[in-house]
Amino acid sequence: MADIKYIFVTGGVTSSLGKGIITASLAKLLQARGYSVTIQKLDPYINVDPGTLNPYEHGECYVTLDGAETDLDLGHYERFLNVPTSQANNVTTGRIYQSVINKERRGDYQGKTVQVIPHITDEIKMRIKLLGEGNKYDIILTEIGGTVGDIESLPYIESVRQLKWELGPHNCVSIHLTLVPFLSAAGESKTKPTQHSVKELLESGIQPDVLVLRTEHALGSDIKRKVALFCNVEEEAVVVSDDVSTIYEVPLKMLDEKLDRIVLRKLNLPVEADPPMKPWREFIDRLKNPKHEIHVGLVGKYVELPDAYKSIIESFSHSGSANYCKVNIEYIHSEDINENNADKKLKGLHGLVVAPGFGSRGIDGKIITAKYARENNVPFLGISLGMQCAVVEFARNVLNMEGAHSTEIDPETEYPVIDLVEEQERITENGTTMRLGGYKCRLVPGTKAYEVYGKEEITERHRHRYEFNNKYLEEFAAHGMIVSGINPESNLVEIVEIPGHRWFVAVQFHPEYSSTVVSPHPLFVNFVKECINE
């Protein structure tokens, strides 16, 4: 059995350089060459998982099929690789410490002093190697969050240093991503920050094998040579990543820069012809040469920070490309919509999406949006809280249930059309009562949902506490909002739709988490298709 190969990606100079995209792009190229690969993210923050983080701080919380609340970079990994990730793919410092402290309490360390080295670093190394168990993967890529030099990153960097030593040079490659800024006053790109960043890594005992230089301007070979010389890296192993118009071009860029070849050579793996990237190129070709153009309103309360809706936005790239359509997303703040201005604010949009969310802020604007879409026959996709708002709206305005609401927002409502189901009526630790991860859903033949998916049983990912209240099911159906998807085990409502409407589908789950480049999500694809058919 061949050894598993490890690739570590660190970042220097600044955050937000797109380490996740570079890592996912390299993984894509290696996967296209036939290797089985996975990507792991190590996050240096102390939250046990990102589930409790405010989206304003850290963007969207991405949910895996096995129900882990993870960093949004895992979404990129899945969108690029089209293979599911799991809890093991995202480890935070909080989780590492939690597990070490639990072991200490259990007496596992037999009275020894518990320290960052070796106990925390051993736990980190164990988590990195865990993914390699079962021989599922040939290559494991590990992205270290944060920036080299941060206090928080030190135990991770030390763990990488130790692993490089333990695994040997041909089983391990370390890639360092840095920024090469352009100073317009001097008319020059500057390599000094990169040199300092590599020095910092060297102080921690890691000599990077490959450098990826992020830059807004093309860099000449003189810069590459200079960086290679001063950072002690082969010239060929200095790779440039300049700005591209879509993140999906990065794998092709890295292919041109031969990043995959350099890495394979360093890992002593055969380097043959280029990997087949035809479907990927076709995807980009359709994305960049659309035949149609639509404007979709995305109504939510975090619109100032589009990262909060990352997966939804990317799902529109995938479904747009599938339809040869440029999808312009108009971000609309749900707090800005009221009964008086809805017509003005929402008019002219080809489709409306009401976003997921928690809590009452902006809820009225979301309910009004659902009403506008229903009454004006505008294609509508409601996602999780968006679905719940559509249900509340229908109850109030069609079933005349005045004050109908979700008990999340109004616990005293006379018509709790969205409510906690019995088994969830216990509030324990933050996060633990949520329905998280993949659940089966049976689709009802003859419905829009069934037509869209083309099959009877699907699995979709969830992240919510509240549910459609089945007490009202028949009344809704009798007045035109039907259930088209239901959980076969619990009978919980997963999809509602309005058959009399052009395209009105609202889902309790999150389709956006499972849309990928090669497998765009059918709900988004069909929604965009309908929006094009004005």
Point out which residues bind ligand GLN (CB under 6 A): 356-358, 384-385, 408, 463-466
Cβ closer to ligand GLN: 179 or 355? 355
Q: Which is nearer to ligand GLN, 61 or 237 (CB)?
A: 61
- By C-beta, is 85 or 384 nearer to ligand GLN? 384
Element containing residue 188 per DSSP (H, E): strand 188-189
Comparing CB distances to ligand GLN, the nearer of 29 and 418 is 418
Measured from the CB atom, is 324 or 358 closer to ligand GLN?
A: 358
The amino acid that residue 246 corresponds to is T
In the complex, least distance from residue 331 CB atom to ligand GLN, rounded to whole angstroms: 17
Cis bond before residue 44 (omega within 30° of 0) = no
154-167 vs 121-130: helix crossing angle, rounded to 10: 60
Shortest reach from residue 431's CB to ligand GLN, in Å = 11
> Taking Cα atoms as reference points, which of 350, 388, 509, 366 lies closest to residue 439?
509
Measured CA to CA, the distance from residue 497 to residue 506 in angstroms comes to 6
Q: How far is the CB of 522 from ligand GLN (least distance, A)?
A: 20
Between 143 and 467, name the residue whose CB sits nearer to ligand GLN: 467
Q: Are 176 and 164 in contact (CB under 8 A)?
A: no
Q: Which is nearer to ligand GLN, 212 or 404 (CB)?
A: 404
Considering the complex, state which of residue 15 and residue 430 has its C-beta at the smaller distance from ligand GLN. 430
Shortest gap between Cβ of 398 and ligand GLN (angstroms)?
22
Contact 517, 82 (CB under 8 A): yes
Which backbone phi and psi does 157 adopt, to 5 degrees?
A: -60, -40
| Rg of the chain taking only CA atoms, in angstroms | 25
Proportion of the chain in helix, strand, coil states, percent, rounded to 5 = 40, 20, 35
Could you tell me which of 209, 218, 273 has the C-alpha nearest to residue 29? 273
Name the residue nearer to ligand GLN (CB basis): 156 or 472.
472
CB of 510 to ligand GLN, least distance (A): 7
CA pair distance 383, 390, nearest whole angstrom: 10
As measured in angstroms, the least distance from the Cβ of 50 to ligand GLN is 14
Tallying the residues shown for the chain, one arrives at 534
Burial label, 222 (beta-carbon count in 10 A; 0-12, 13-18, 19+): exposed
Q: Collect contacts of 263-270 with beta carbons under 8 A, ≥24 apart.
A: 263/7, 263/26, 263/30, 263/173, 263/175, 263/210, 264/30, 264/33, 266/169, 266/170, 266/173, 266/209, 266/210, 266/237, 267/5, 267/7, 267/139, 267/170, 267/171, 267/173, 268/170, 269/5, 269/35
Least distance (Å) from ligand GLN to the CB of residue 491? 17
- To the nearest whole angstrom, how small is the minimum distance from the Cβ of residue 333 to ligand GLN? 17
Report the C-alpha dihedral over residues 129, 132, 134, 136, rounded to 10 degrees.
170
Q: How far is the CB of 303 from ligand GLN (least distance, A)?
A: 15
Q: 8 pairs with which residues across the strands?
A: 142, 174
As a whole number of angstroms, the longest Cα–Cα distance in the chain is 75
CB of 351 to ligand GLN, least distance (A): 19
The nearer residue to ligand GLN, 226 or 463, going by C-beta atoms, is 463
Nearest distance, CB of residue 358 and ligand GLN, angstroms: 4
Please report how many Cα atoms fall inside a 13 Å half-sphere around the Cα of residue 103, on the Cβ side. 17
Choose between 155 and 300: whose C-beta lies nearer to ligand GLN.
300
